[in-house]
Every structure is written in structure tokens, then in C-alpha cells.
Amino acid sequence: MTNTVTLISDHLGSVRPTVKGTEYTVDAVINITDFDQTGAPVGNFIAVANNFTRTSGGALPTNFVVGQNVIVANAVDGGNNATTTFVSLLGEVLTVAAFAADETGDTITLSTDQEVIPYSTFGLSKVTQVMILGQENLLLNWQVQLGITGNSVIADHLVLSCKTASTGAVLSGDAGTIRVRLVGQI
């Protein structure tokens, strides 16, 4: 989940949103240099509280967004190996939607299958349409994730998922650049 967004200038050199009718359009290039951003903390699961408390090892990711998918792998109890939803991070305590079992001294791998970027990064407060215009790596399948209402699955954020075209596996590492067009309100 490491990215850089570069707004593309129009023919007059402006990199601000441009008005089209009652909506604004922004073209941007997103350079995603670390898609899954894994970590390997050691700690304890408390299932009833849906918490994982880090005691040592790799740091807990600090840039998860509430509602974002978190993939837990390598837990001793296989029931804790799952894709769940991030709720909060307070100090060394990660809270998610669900953990299945209590565990002590477990080394886990945390990653994500979503790139989450605030609309404000693009100069917009609300987005009504997103188009993926192109991508550097043609072996990837980029998708905009929407919720059941047709809005972004995480409010006020562009949520992108990506899988490899050949296997459908979750992407890891440098995903290259993608070019997007967003339409919405300032």
C-alpha cells in the first residue's frame, strides 16, 4: 500500500480538476510501488475482542483504512487465516471484524488486496465515476471496488484491487503505474 499520485496537467498546464457541466474531471497517474505491504509481527490473538496484540517482530501496518481488507496468514490456528476487515489500530493492538481463536506467541503475516486512496488526493470530495485508462503492466487485472449501493466500498476513497492475469493470485510488490480518470465534485 505505497503509492504516489501525480495529477496530469491539461493543455493549459493546470493540474486542478476541470469542470464539465456540473462535475469535475481529474486525470492522474498512480504509481503503486508496494501493493500488499506485508508485515510479520509476533503477538497474541484474543478472539472475543477480535484483537491481535503485537509483542515483537515486524511492526503493524499504520496505514490501513477502516473498512479495508486485511489478509491474515501463517497463524497457528488455521481459523485465524482469513481475509477480514480492518476496524482500528491503537498502539500495538490491531482490531478487525473477526478472529476465530485465541492464540499466544503467534508469528503472522499481514497484507492487503486493496489500494485505498482518499478522493482528496485528487482534489475531489465526491466521485461519481472512475475509469481505468491504462496501465504499465498488462499482466495485471485492475478493478475499482464498489459496495452493494454502487458507491465506493470505503466512503470517500478510491478502492482498487489487482490480481495477476495468469493465475488470479493477489498481487504483491511493485505494481507499476496505472492511469485513471475520476469524475465528481470538489
Asked if 24 and 17 count as a contact pair (C-beta separation under 8 A), the reply is yes
Measured distance CA(83)–CA(177) in Å, rounded: 26
What is the CATH classification number for the domain harbouring 14?
2.60.40.3940
> 171 Cβ partners below 8 Å, 6+ apart?
35, 36, 113, 140, 162, 163, 164
- Specify the pLDDT at position 174: 85
Query: The domain containing residue 68 runs over which residues?
Result: 41-111
- Check the CA dihedral 160-164-169-172 and report its sign: negative
The residue ranges of the chain whose pLDDT is under 50 are none
- The pTM of the full predicted model, rounded to 2 decimals, is 0.81
- Specify the pLDDT at position 14: 79
54 lies in the same domain as 83: yes
- Specify the pLDDT at position 17: 77
- Specify the pLDDT at position 27: 94
Question: Taking CA 92 as the corner, what is the angle to CA 88 and CA 94, rounded to the nearest 5 degrees?
Answer: 30
> Quick one: which of 43, 162, 178 has its CA closest to 109?
43
159 lies in the same domain as 174: yes
Measured distance CA(93)–CA(54) in Å, rounded: 6
What is the CATH classification number for the domain harbouring 68?
2.40.30
54 lies in the same domain as 75: yes
Measured distance CA(154)–CA(182) in Å, rounded: 16
- Specify the pLDDT at position 168: 67
- Specify the pLDDT at position 121: 95
- Specify the pLDDT at position 1: 57
104 lies in the same domain as 130: no
165 is written with which cell numbers?
492475469
- 119 Rama class: left (phi>0) / alpha (psi -120 to 50) / beta: alpha
* SS3 state of residue 36: coil
Structurally, the chain folds into a number of domains equal to 2
